[in-house]
Structure 1
Amino acid sequence: MLWIKTLHIVFITSWFAGLFYLPRIFVNLADVKDVATTERLLMMARKLYRFTTILMIPALILGLVLWLYYRIGMGPGNGWMHAKLLLVVLTIGYHHACGSLLKKFENGLNKRSHVFYRWFNEVPVVLLLVIVALVIIKPF
């Protein structure tokens, strides 16, 4: 079980690293004017989104193994797990929102400013902070 936990933490950390950096690329894409820089940033964003998606899959599978097979967070007094699972679903939604925003940039349909993306970039930080706090503190 400790190896599964270890791998789960490594994949979660790697997935979130991508979720931290991809919106930073969006900040630059929303602000840049020249075509060459835009194309370079789009290439970086595409590769990062693909790689981040690949990292998300084992992170979620290993989390399910810990929850369903090892029964971590099951039973009475584990309300923290319900809150964590809700935040995981929101994180998956954020991941897919990044994919949708990337498609808008690729099609020249972005209408948002770099300021929006600076704020958008803070969402995974808050999600990770609350998820880790729930897992470590288990407040309810």
Structure 2
Amino acid sequence: MNTILWLKAFHVIFMVAWFAGIFYLPRIFVNHAESDEPLVHKQLKGMERRLLFFVTPFAIFTVALGIIIIYYYGYTWFAAAKWLHVKISLVTLLLIYHAYCFKLVKIFAADKNIRSGKFYRFFNEIPVLILFIVIILAYVKPF
């Protein structure tokens, strides 16, 4: 049994689950921002909250496994893996994005959203771009 392969497999599994939620949540924000129906707002508020709390553990497990993998490989490898430093920076941005989603859920819950559906459509593209770059960094290791 190769421990590092299991760690990497679960790191990717949790990452995929995290991204699934982080891709879907802003789409719910789009629908919420574009609806004028109180019953729809009530339903979307519940969906937003449940989804965010559902995917948050996936984010935590993804980060924790990433740290364990880095520890497993050791400091010398970490220092030499410049691509990983960029990846960690992008994951940090994604964690900030994720935290901002908590703020947005609270804003929608309080019926205080002032942004348009168009804003949330653009907001939805941020994790897509991060994912593309992170995958390229992790698999191609360009530097």
Report the counterpart of residue 123 of structure 1 in structure 2: 126
Deviation at 1:54, TM superposition (A): 1.4
TM-superposed deviation, 1:57: 1.0
Q: Residue 108 of structure 1: CA displacement?
A: 1.2
What is the aligned counterpart of 1:39 among 42, 45, 53?
42
Q: What's the CA shift for 1:87? A: 0.2
Map 1:10-25 → 2, pairs under 5 A: 10-25=13-28
The aligned counterpart of 1:101 is 104
Report the equivalent of 1:75: 79
1:114 paired residue among 113, 117, 123: 117
* Partners of 2:19 and 2:30 in 1: CA distance: 17
Q: CA deviation at 1:137?
A: 1.1
* Displacement of 1:71: 2.9
State yes or no: 1:51 paired with 2:54: yes
1:3 counterpart = 2:6: yes
Number of aligned residue pairs: 139
Q: Which residue identity does 2:79 align to in structure 1?
A: G
* Alignment deviations for residues 69-112 of structure 1 (CA, whole Å, 9 cap, x no partner): 23385132x21011000001000001011111111011111110
Partner amino acid, structure 2, of 1:64: I
1:137 equivalent in alignment to 2:102: no
TM-score w.r.t. length of structure 2: 0.93
Residue type of the alignment partner of 2:25: L
Question: Could you tell me the percent identity over the aligned residues?
Answer: 42
The ranges of structure 1 where at least 4 consecutive aligned residues each deviate by more than 2 angstroms after the TM superposition are: 69-73
- Give TM-score scaled by structure 1 length: 0.95
Q: How big is the alpha-carbon RMSD for the aligned residues of Structure 1 and Structure 2?
A: 1.1
Deviation at 1:14, TM superposition (A): 0.3
For structure 2, the residue ranges without an aligned partner over 5 or more in a row are none
Query: Could you tell me which residue of structure 2 aligns to residue 90 of structure 1?
Result: 93
Q: CA deviation at 1:68?
A: 1.6
Deviation by residue 1:47-83 (Cα, 9 ceiling, x = unmatched): 000011111111111010001223385132x210110
Aligned-partner Cα distance in 1 for 2:15–2:74: 19
